[in-house]
Amino acid sequence: MPTLIVTLVHAKDLAIRDPIVKSSDPYIKFRIGTKSEWVKSSVVNKNLNPVYNEKLTVTSDVVDSLYVEVWDKDFIGSDDFMGWAEVDIVHLKKKKPTKLDLTLKDTESGQVTVILQAEDFGVDN
Ligand SMILES: [Ca+2]
């Protein structure tokens, strides 16, 4: 089973989704392909430049693109969308960490920094 280790480092310049406090409570979720379960990070409250330094394991039945979505946690009502990115992981080098800055789409602003490591797929060195 393809296993990808995602180290979620930080995000910056994220969009405001809680206008009263001019901030957001961002968490970031990952999945490989469009059918797998999402793997979610923790929530950082009231921060548009959150630091996570969190390691997540994402698995899938197939090697496909990695999808990344950023959401604002709301404690009343449903969470608000803050952008997304798609990453080609098919060409990652096997077992070699690759650091990427992902620019978020379909939102006002934002960037997510991750380190990806393909555990059992990818290109042999
Ligand atoms: Ca919120």
In the chain, where the domains are located: 3-118
Residue 108 CA, ligand 1 centroid: distance in Å: 16
Domain 3-118 sits in CATH 1.10.630.10: no
Residue 47 CA, ligand 1 centroid: distance in Å: 10
| Residue 34 zone, left/alpha/beta (φ > 0; ψ -120 to 50; rest) | alpha
Residue 78 CA, ligand 1 centroid: distance in Å: 9
Averaged over successive runs of 10 residues, the pLDDT of the chain (125 residues) comes to 95 97 98 95 98 97 95 96 97 96 98 97 87
Residue 63 CA, ligand 1 centroid: distance in Å: 33
Contact status, residue 43 vs residue 18, Cβ threshold 8 Å: no
Q: Letter for the amino acid at 83?
A: G
pTM: 0.95
